[in-house]
Structure 1
Amino acid sequence: MSYNNIIIEIAEKVAVLTINRPNQLNALNSETIKELGDAFKSLESDDNVKAIIITGSGEKAFVAGADIKEFYQFDVAEGKELAAKGHQYLFDVVQNLTTPVIAAVNGFALGGGLELAMSCHFRLASDNAKLGLPEVTLGVIPGYGGTQRLAQLVGKGRAMEMIMTAKMISAEEAYGYGLVNQVTTQEELLASCQKIALKIVKNSSVAIASAIRAVNAGYTDGVNGFDTEIEEFGKCFGTEDFKEGTTAFIEKRKANFPGK
């Protein structure tokens, strides 16, 4: 599949997905959102991909925000549809993907860019990164999950402050908030993400998918995360990966998971 705004490279079962709109600081327009959603679904179904890293092209921005020119004249109904489609096509897709997704935040992650990073399973940032949700300066609020995911990640008080002041925080502040897992230099960012991804791909992809579903359940209204954990735990016992993992442990060898 060919794309206009993204580049995909796959090596050692790790896919690197790069948003490639450097002249627009990788801003998310409707075409890019659609391409990203399609790409994530395609990579999830690829048996040769066990982890995904998403980043932005260039050294200035991961994603500097949404493309305001596309929606500044929208009315109420069109605004609601814009947010709903974004959730459906991309942001919820990433959060619920059963292949782990790591955000490599290489610069500005603002508005929709931070919302995209937060929908990933975890995040690493370069030391020049700036993160924020500046939507209230435009008379609107985050509409791609930002009000919900930011509060889940950093707590209600900090989320309220970031959203209401529209302030950008540094990578080090984001690390202190628990918004990113690690801060590296710009040069080391992708290699650090690759190092983590290569650790992930050695483990059972079936168990990892179960873990993602169980963790996400705890943040889903009307769902008991503990019940989901019990259900997913039990399902693991019927997999080939469980048989291989436990047998390898008993035989004191490294497991070779079939991913089934």
Structure 2
Amino acid sequence: MADASLRVEVKDAVATVLIDRPERKNALSVAVANGLADAWERIEADPAIRVAILTSSDCGIFSAGLDLKEAQEIAAREGVDILSKMRDPFHDIMRNVSKPIIAAMTGSLMAGGMMLALNCDLRVGLAGTKAGITEVKVGRGSPWAAPALSMLPQPILMEMLLTGELMPIEALHHYGFTNYIEKTPDAVRARARLLADRIVAGAPLSVKAAKASLRATMDLGCSAGIEEGKRLHAEVYASLDAIEGPKAFAEKRLPVWQGR
């Protein structure tokens, strides 16, 4: 990436996106936000990438969200809000990536850090950390929090939104927000990589359609989501991989996916 505070590495079909601003609690500067938009576009366009992992440098904080210091500097210098400097301020590009994204949350997360986690499909947390939506404490907004309603009970989410208080990751795990909680940052990243490798082992078209159909159900509701899921899976059932899967099973060997 052009900015040193964001790095993207690709290995064995897995792209690891790492926010590297430990001195600023991995906060989202304009450069990082725009770099993330570039990264998601690259990941979406590259057929060699099957899964992405989003993580950050170890400092106790996965991401503190918007860089409020930079926001103040921009407002004082130019009289505009920092979001006007970001080409995708609410990270819609990330949310629309068709490939699975795993959050390897190696610290506490709040505000925009929580937004990034919500935009991921799987989440691995770090024991002893906290998470929250803290915008009411700093006069910012959280329109991006709406998807959390399908991940957390409404009273819990409302408490987070209205009070801005952080909650233990263990409590959120109890409600189903995270897939796993690990004891160390390295273990968090290792778990995320294990999940990514397992996804890569699956049939590419099936993985893509599975994510798309579940997201469609979240947006459309159950009945409409099922119908949209049938449409999305038509390509899967008509693919060469749909023949290869049962053939490999019958021959007691690993399938060789072609993604078509």
Calculate the TM-score normalised by the size of structure 1.
0.89
- % of aligned pairs identical? 26
Task: Could you tell me which runs of 5 or more consecutive residues in structure 2 were left unpaired when the two chains were aligned.
Answer: none
2:170 corresponds in structure 1 to 172
2:196 alignment partner in structure 1: 197
SS of 1:239's equivalent? coil
Shift of 1:115: 0.6
Kindly tell me the number of residue pairs found equivalent between the two proteins: 255
Match of 1:29 in 2: 29
One-letter code aligned to 2:105: V
Check if 1:86 corresponds to 2:89.
yes
Instruction: State the one-letter code of the partner of 1:234.
Output: A
Q: What is the CA distance between 1:249 and its match in structure 2?
A: 2.4
Give the residue type in structure 1 aligned to 2:227: D
Alignment of 1:138-217 (within 5 A): 138-143=138-143, 145-146=144-145, 148-186=146-184, 187-217=186-216
Q: CA deviation at 1:5?
A: 2.0
Q: How far 1:45 moved relative to its partner?
A: 2.4
Using the TM superposition, name which of 34-43 and 78-87 deviates more: 78-87
Instruction: State the TM-score, normalizing by the size of structure 2.
Output: 0.89
Matched residue type, 2:168: S
Give the Å deviation of 1:141. Answer: 2.6
Structure 1 CA distance, aligned partners of 2:83 and 2:14?
35
Q: Secondary structure of the residue that 1:183 maps to in structure 2? A: strand
Taking structure 1 as reference, are residues 161 and 204 closer, same or farther at Cα in structure 2, changes over 3 Å only?
Answer: same
Shift of 1:228: 0.8
Residues 210, 232 of structure 1: 8 Å contact kept: yes
* Preserved CA contact (<8 Å) 2:30 2:86: no
CA contact (8 A) 1:106 1:128 kept: no
CA distance in 2, matches of 1:81, 1:224: 36
The answer to whether the 8 A contact 1:104-1:124 is kept is yes
Are the aligned partners of 1:96 and 1:213 in contact in 2 as well (CA < 8 Å)? no
Structure 1 unaligned blocks of 5 or more = none
Deviates more, 1:2-11 or 1:32-41: 2-11
